[in-house]
């Protein structure tokens, strides 16, 4: 069975009017194999209210075929059990989130402890950012991954406890996600400043506190819209394995255009900023390496020239020493000859 995206109530009405008890299955054959269960159930209900005795048997057969082709389930979890890989999905949904939560909480706790300790000792803003990021990531795990794991492992749906709790969870989830993303941007920006201006890259810990506080307050105020736009809503779901006529979801029910702004804040803009800053860091490092290589090459050439000059000077000194020594020997020989001539 295939999901019908654009169904027409008038088309189905004509089918119901012209159908007979001998060709009930025409609804699900040939040109009518695209079945939109919601409209068909609505039409069947309307025909049941106005049916006479002659058409009651046909309507009953339509009812039987419809429930065979559109099996109705009470919850998405029951509908998901019809998947061929439902057991594998359930096992993965119970184990992987739990592993992420345990290792994520442990690793981020140790990271926060080490980074805060180094931040106090060295007064470095990058350590403070990373420590705060580790704490926020733990909160992201609790508001996202933990909720999913509870639903998957124990069929507990915290989002559906009450509407205020649903709104609060959405508020916290988006708030912590925004803070986490923009703290990474702050760390990337600080690294760029340190690489680009190494002699002036002394960002104080006090300034890092102000930047972090601004990020926390700004996104906290912005995400208050979740208390207005998020709430309970009734929806229907149809896939090839079945149909859910009516179930409650916690989702955005008004001002849905804000979802695009939310995605821009926690995904698009941080990704663009991080990409640009990392590219700038890479280009700066490559430029610095080129300058360093040029300097080393020039120093090597100067060193070679100096060694040549020293070699020439040494040769000249040796030649001068030899000439001086030879001249001295000749002078001594002349003096000996002179003394010998005087004696004789």
Q: Which domains does the chain have, with CATH numbers?
A: 2-70 (no CATH), 84-291 (1.20.1070.10)
Q: What is the mean pLDDT of the chain?
A: 77
Regarding beta strands 34-35 and 2-3, do their DSSP bridges make them parallel or antiparallel, or are they unpaired? parallel
Examine the pLDDT at 34 and tell me if it is beyond 60: no
Residue 85 pLDDT greater than 90, yes or no: no
Which of these, 202, 35, 193, 21, lies nearest to 125 by C-alpha position? 202
pLDDT(101) > 90: yes
Give the other-Cβ count within 10 Å of 25's Cβ.
Answer: 14
**Rounded Cα distance, 80 and 227, in Å:** 30
Q: What are phi and psi of 112, to 5 degrees?
A: -65, -40
d(Cα 82, Cα 70) in Å, to the nearest integer? 13
3-class DSSP assignment, residue 202: coil
Lowest-confidence segment of 154-168, 191-205, 237-251 by average pLDDT: 237-251
Residue 243 is predicted with a pLDDT of 66
Q: Tell me: the pLDDT tens digits for 68-80?
A: 667 777 667 776 7
Given a cut of 90, is residue 33 above it in pLDDT?
no
Whole-number pLDDT of residue 189 = 92
- pLDDT digit string (tens) for 267-293? 999 999 999 999 999 998 898 888 878
pLDDT at residue 344, as a whole number: 61
Q: Quickly list H helices, the chain.
A: 9-18, 37-50, 53-69, 76-80, 86-122, 125-140, 146-154, 163-196, 205-222, 226-229, 258-263, 269-343
Distance CA 38, CA 7 (A): 10
Which pLDDT tens digit goes with each residue over 114-128?
998 887 776 678 889
The answer to whether the beta carbons of residues 69 and 240 sit under 8 Å apart is no
| Helix pair 37-50, 53-69: axis angle to 10 deg | 160
Spatial contact of 140 and 177, defined as CB atoms under 8 Å apart: yes
Pairing mode of beta strands 230-239, 2-3:
unpaired
CA distances from 256 to 78, 166, 182, 253, 262 (A): 29, 17, 23, 7, 10
């Amino acid at each position: 069975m295939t999901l019908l995206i654009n169904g027409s109530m008038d088309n189905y009405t004509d089918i119901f009017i012209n159908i007979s008890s001998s060709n009930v299955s025409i609804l699900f054959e040939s040109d009518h194999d695209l079945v939109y269960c919601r409209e068909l159930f609505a039409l069947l209900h309307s025909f049941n209210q106005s049916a006479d005795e002659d058409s009651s048997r046909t309507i009953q057969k339509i009812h039987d075929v419809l429930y065979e082709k559109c099996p109705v389930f009470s919850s998405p979890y029951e509908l998901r059990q019809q998947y061929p890989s439902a057991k594998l999905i359930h096992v993965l949904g119970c184990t992987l989130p739990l592993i992420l939560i345990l290792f994520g909480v442990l690793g981020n706790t140790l990271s926060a402890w080490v980074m805060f300790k180094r931040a106090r000792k060295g007064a470095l803003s990058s350590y403070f950012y990373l420590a705060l990021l580790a704490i926020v990531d733990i909160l992201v795990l609790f508001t996202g991954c933990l909720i999913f794991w509870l639903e998957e492992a124990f069929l507990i749906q915290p989002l559906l406890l009450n509407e205020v709790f649903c709104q609060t969870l959405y508020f916290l989830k988006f708030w912590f996600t925004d803070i986490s993303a923009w703290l990474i941007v702050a760390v990337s920006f600080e690294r760029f400043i340190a690489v680009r201006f190494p002699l002036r890259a002394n960002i104080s810990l006090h300034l890092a506190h102000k930047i972090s506080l601004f990020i926390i307050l700004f996104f906290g105020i912005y995400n208050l819209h979740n208390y207005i736009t998020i709430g309970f809503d009734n929806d229907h779901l149809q896939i090839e394995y079945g149909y859910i006529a009516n179930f409650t979801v916690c989702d955005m029910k008004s001002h849905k255009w804000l979802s695009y702004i939310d995605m821009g804040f926690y995904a698009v803009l941080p990704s663009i900023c991080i990409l640009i800053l990392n590219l700038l860091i890479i280009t700066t490092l490559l430029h610095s390496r080129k300058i360093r290589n040029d300097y080393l090459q020039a120093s090597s050439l100067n060193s070679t020239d100096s060694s040549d000059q020293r070699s020439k000077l040494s040769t000249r000194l040796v030649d001068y020493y030899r000439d001086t020594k030879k001249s001295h020997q000749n002078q001594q020989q002349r003096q000996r000859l002179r003394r010998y001539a005087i004696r004789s």
